Structure 1
Amino acid sequence: MHKFILTIAGGGSTYTPGIVKSLLAKKEEFPLKELRLYDNDGDRQEKVAIIVKEVVKEFAPELKVLTTTDPETAFSDAEFIFAQMRVGKNSMREQDEKIPLRYGVVGQETCGPGGLAYGLRTIYPMAELIDLVEKYANPKHWIVNYSNPAAVVAEAMKKLRPNARIINICDMPVATIRNMAAVIGEDRNKLVVDYFGLNHFGWFTKVTVDGVDRTDEIRKHAIKHGLLVEDMTKVDAQHSDPSWIKNWKNIQYMMEMFPDYIPNPYLQYYLLGDSIVEHTNVEHTRANEVMEGREKRIFDAVDEYNRTGEVDLSSFYTGVHGQFIVDVAMSLAYNLRKRFLVMVENKGAVMNLPEDAMVEIPAYITSDGPEPIRVGEIPTFYKALIEQQYAVEKLIVEAAIEHSYTKALMALTLSKTVPSAFKAKEILDELIKANKGYWPELN
């Protein structure tokens, strides 16, 4: 069986050990010849690599692991590239969250002004990554992209690198499917879902198991409890932190008002924004929770290893994040035509949305990429919300390409999370100062 060369771009991410565990759990079906970690922060990557190498030692000691900050070394002849870059790291994520909150506006890493700030930091580094991969990698490579904000990245790459061999994915729909499966006592892999929207901005319309429609069961539970079950730690440790418990609970309130479809949890930032702000501590946001939680666990484990030569790998769970990206890669590698929710250019799949919108819908994943499944027409309320959000994403991409302050201001003003153009301008001006050196210059 052919063995693959796979590179993780963003090897210094705290998600890397979990992704590697997921890869090695499928080592018989998806064997690797070489695993490479690539990051522009070599010091951070080397620390994370200590854990990665221990994972490899336990599960696949024969696998060659290479860490590098050199793109030619990283990508030469690589067949798969898992991209998970975080430009500005968690210190800039903290600014994305806290600056809008100071103005009474949702502070979140992928939604609202914070998401647009993150997008402006990520667009050109992602284009640069694509260029490096195309220069050095196997011509039939695939980039499987987890880098956020995925909707903005997908829209930008459609314009800047339209021929890139990239598939943009997000684990949030899969995590939601996992919770729905727990609600009805089924394996998540047995659920087949219908869904439409943009990334972090969509709705589940139907859920079947073995051909039987289970949507009403999930809907009734969600109206009463959100997508919480009694013990969330048994569902997935990754999404059972206190802030995530709130997120799953908030689905209840959206379902009480709009019961037809089951919302992606991130819709709370657009539909329940005032409540979200009211219950958020501007001094301690999700960025702080991550730095004090997952990030601290990784670097504490590195310190422990340096002291004792031992590390407890059980704390580095796999979860749906790692499993999903591996499943997508396998479907690409072996033409499995598995059905997943991914981001694709609409091209009529959702009949009454713009043709060029980067929608998130079901698709069969083949060796030639995704084959979207047609959704048909969607109702007015959802269509209007999606068109507004798509206009926001399109404007922020145009702002980056054209170096346009006005279009960036338009994007923030149009965001459903921002109450007025006055607020949008105040937030934008402060974000410009905070992102000096990261953003394209806006004139």
Structure 2
Amino acid sequence: MKLTVVGGGSTYTPELIDGFARLRDTLPVEELVLVDPAADRLELVGGLARRIFARQGHGGRVVTTSDLDAAVDGADAVLLQLRVGGQAARQQDETWPLECGCVGQETTGAGGLAKALRTVPVVLDVAERVRRANPDAWIIDFTNPVGIVTRALLQAGHRAVGLCNVAIGLQRKFAALLGVAPADVHLDHVGLNHLTWETAVRLGGPEGEDVLPRLLAGHGDAVAADVRLPRPLLDRLGVVPSYYLRYYYAHDEVVDELRTKPSRAAEVAEMERQLLEMYGDPALDEKPELLARRGGAYYSEAAVDLAAALLGGSGSPYQVVNTRNRGTLPFLPDDAVVEVPAAVGAKGASPLPVAPVDPLYAGLMAHVTAYEDLALDAALRGGRERVFRALLAHPLVGQYAYAEQLTDRLIAHNREHLAWA
């Protein structure tokens, strides 16, 4: 089995490598190719990857290259974890929206739109090369904004499934609080990427007992702290929103907070500097503890599980993924990309039935889906007016004066990445 990681020079990659090494019985990788244009980073990450494999007795071969076509040739699955513009672009995404009083964040709001505009054309080019090399290969997208990027891939006819680590992270945390094995916890996870709610926490499987009321009653403070929302709000809602809902439910509070502390991009850039220095140590043969603070917890386990299921292996048959709605949420278009539990196998991901969704959440999902529609149109066809329409539609922007200012700032800060600008 050959797997290719596009963006293999990312400091995330050792998390992925660790999962491949530990879970080799689930996903028996014979050749792992890390491809990245940043040769210096790639060699540091690739060296550590080989040492991790060796330490854990994995017999697979790790190859590093900057040649994308060679990297995807013959690949059974291709994982996308690229960042167009790097941390410098992320720093901008998190900064200029604040000038207009809007949230500055890399995956949602105006910053998220900027990332989508930079990313979608690049991802589609990569996907076309994958299709030419092996039309049966699966593409697993971990590149943000996952919902928009996955929709672009599916709309272009690619064999693609989107992946996010929010659900698996909450599953692991809930399992620890309840004192049970993670495999025993099944989430009724519903929404769009980075716009999700846990409406039930079931023990034993999709039809198991819902212990969410017990979880909130006994561990509500810990859950609230984890998603960074007030405990009384969780008690009133009776659900667990993802921490990204904080940008919607506490927008002004978050803007004030972001204006008074270093950006997350700056923190990550410093962590990356330290991590790359560590990766260059020939004695290091395991992922360092600092990597846990970088983000992406449990990404490797989710990726291994998904790839194994898609490639006909022993991956879990039920997983939370990003895939076409296909009537799962009747208030959204069939071609919208939703993040829900799905049955995953060699033919792809089929969403499981979802209980009726409270209008409190359905309304916001529909609103953001409309924005994603316009965002994808702007990413594919370009143009100032399309950018303005997408920003005007976003619930974190909404006002025409803000949309005008943000449009100008977005284009000014991203001109080198926008072919039409």
| CA distance in structure 1 between the partners assigned to 2:404 and 2:260 by the alignment | 20
| CA distance in structure 1 between the partners assigned to 2:53 and 2:349 by the alignment | 31
Q: Which residue of 1 aligns with 2:66?
A: 69
Q: Which residue of 1 aligns with 2:348?
A: 369
The answer to whether structure 1 residue 299 and structure 2 residue 276 are counterparts is: yes
Q: Which residue of 1 aligns with 2:126?
A: 129
User: What is the 5 A alignment of 1:15-94?
Assistant: 15-60=12-57, 62-94=59-91
Tell me: CA distance 1:207–1:376, structure 2 relative to 1, closer, same or farther (3 Å). Answer: closer
| CA distance in structure 2 between the partners assigned to 1:92 and 1:171 by the alignment | 22
Tell me the TM-score normalised to structure 1 length. Answer: 0.88
User: What is the 5 A alignment of 1:312-331?
Assistant: 313-315=286-288, 319-331=297-309
The answer to whether structure 1 residue 250 and structure 2 residue 243 are counterparts is: no
User: What is the 5 A alignment of 1:108-257?
Assistant: 108-137=105-134, 139-159=135-155, 161=156, 163-210=157-204, 211-221=208-218, 223-228=220-225, 248-250=227-229, 252=231, 254-256=233-235
The answer to whether structure 1 residue 412 and structure 2 residue 391 are counterparts is: yes
What is the deviation of 1:278?
Answer: 1.3
Return the match for 1:401 from 363, 380, 393: 380
Give the letter for the 2:276 counterpart.
F
Question: Contact 1:5/1:33 (CA < 8 Å) preserved in 2?
Answer: yes
Aligned residues with identical type, % of pairs: 29
Question: Contact 1:93/1:287 (CA < 8 Å) preserved in 2?
Answer: yes
**Any idea what SS the aligned residue of 2:258 has?**
coil
Return the match for 1:379 from 358, 365, 371: 358
Tell me: CA distance 1:431–1:282, structure 2 relative to 1, closer, same or farther (3 Å). Answer: farther
Return the match for 2:284 from 305, 311, 320: 311
| CA distance in structure 2 between the partners assigned to 1:75 and 1:156 by the alignment | 20
Q: Which residue of 2 aligns with 1:264?
A: 242
Question: Contact 1:338/1:364 (CA < 8 Å) preserved in 2?
Answer: yes
Cα-to-partner distance string for 1:14-50 (whole Å, 9 max, x where unaligned): 1111101100111233222211111122222122222
User: What is the 5 A alignment of 1:277-288?
Assistant: 277-281=255-259, 284-288=262-266
Q: Which runs of 5+ in 1 are unaligned?
A: 229-244
Q: Which residue of 2 aligns with 1:242?
A: none
Cα-to-partner distance string for 1:36-78 (whole Å, 9 max, x where unaligned): 1111222221222222222122123632211111123201111
| CA distance in structure 1 between the partners assigned to 2:160 and 2:218 by the alignment | 37
What is the deviation of 1:410?
Answer: 1.6
What is the deviation of 1:200?
Answer: 0.5
What is the deviation of 1:262?
Answer: 1.4
Give the letter for the 1:396 counterpart.
A
Tell me: CA distance 1:216–1:376, structure 2 relative to 1, closer, same or farther (3 Å). Answer: closer
Tell me: CA distance 1:250–1:43, structure 2 relative to 1, closer, same or farther (3 Å). Answer: same
The answer to whether structure 1 residue 289 and structure 2 residue 267 are counterparts is: yes
The answer to whether structure 1 residue 276 and structure 2 residue 270 are counterparts is: no
Q: Which runs of 5+ in 2 are unaligned?
A: none
Question: Contact 1:204/1:261 (CA < 8 Å) preserved in 2?
Answer: yes
What is the deviation of 1:312?
Answer: 5.7
What is the deviation of 1:121?
Answer: 0.7
Question: Contact 2:320/2:341 (CA < 8 Å) preserved in 1?
Answer: yes
Question: Contact 1:56/1:63 (CA < 8 Å) preserved in 2?
Answer: yes
| CA distance in structure 2 between the partners assigned to 1:61 and 1:348 by the alignment | 42
**Any idea what SS the aligned residue of 1:436 has?**
helix
| CA distance in structure 1 between the partners assigned to 2:394 and 2:174 by the alignment | 29
Q: Which residue of 2 aligns with 1:234?
A: none
Tell me the TM-score normalised to structure 2 length. Answer: 0.92
Give the letter for the 1:313 counterpart.
E
Question: Contact 1:251/1:268 (CA < 8 Å) preserved in 2?
Answer: no
RMSD (Å) for aligned C-alpha atoms = 2.0
Question: Contact 1:90/1:287 (CA < 8 Å) preserved in 2?
Answer: yes
Q: Which residue of 2 aligns with 1:430?
A: 409
**Any idea what SS the aligned residue of 2:188 has?**
strand
Cα-to-partner distance string for 1:183-239 (whole Å, 9 max, x where unaligned): 2222222101112211001111111112332110223356544344xxxxxxxxxxx
Kindly tell me the number of residue pairs found equivalent between the two proteins: 412
Return the match for 2:104 from 107, 110, 125: 107
The answer to whether structure 1 residue 358 and structure 2 residue 337 are counterparts is: yes
Tell me: CA distance 1:143–1:282, structure 2 relative to 1, closer, same or farther (3 Å). Answer: farther
What is the deviation of 1:260?
Answer: 2.9
| CA distance in structure 1 between the partners assigned to 2:188 and 2:211 by the alignment | 12
| CA distance in structure 1 between the partners assigned to 2:232 and 2:20 by the alignment | 37
Question: Contact 1:335/1:365 (CA < 8 Å) preserved in 2?
Answer: no
| CA distance in structure 2 between the partners assigned to 1:312 and 1:209 by the alignment | 36
**Any idea what SS the aligned residue of 1:342 has?**
strand
Give the letter for the 1:202 counterpart.
T
| CA distance in structure 2 between the partners assigned to 1:425 and 1:214 by the alignment | 46
| CA distance in structure 1 between the partners assigned to 2:95 and 2:219 by the alignment | 30
Give the letter for the 2:152 counterpart.
A
Return the match for 1:346 from 318, 325, 336: 325
| CA distance in structure 1 between the partners assigned to 2:150 and 2:18 by the alignment | 27
Question: Contact 2:203/2:211 (CA < 8 Å) preserved in 1?
Answer: yes
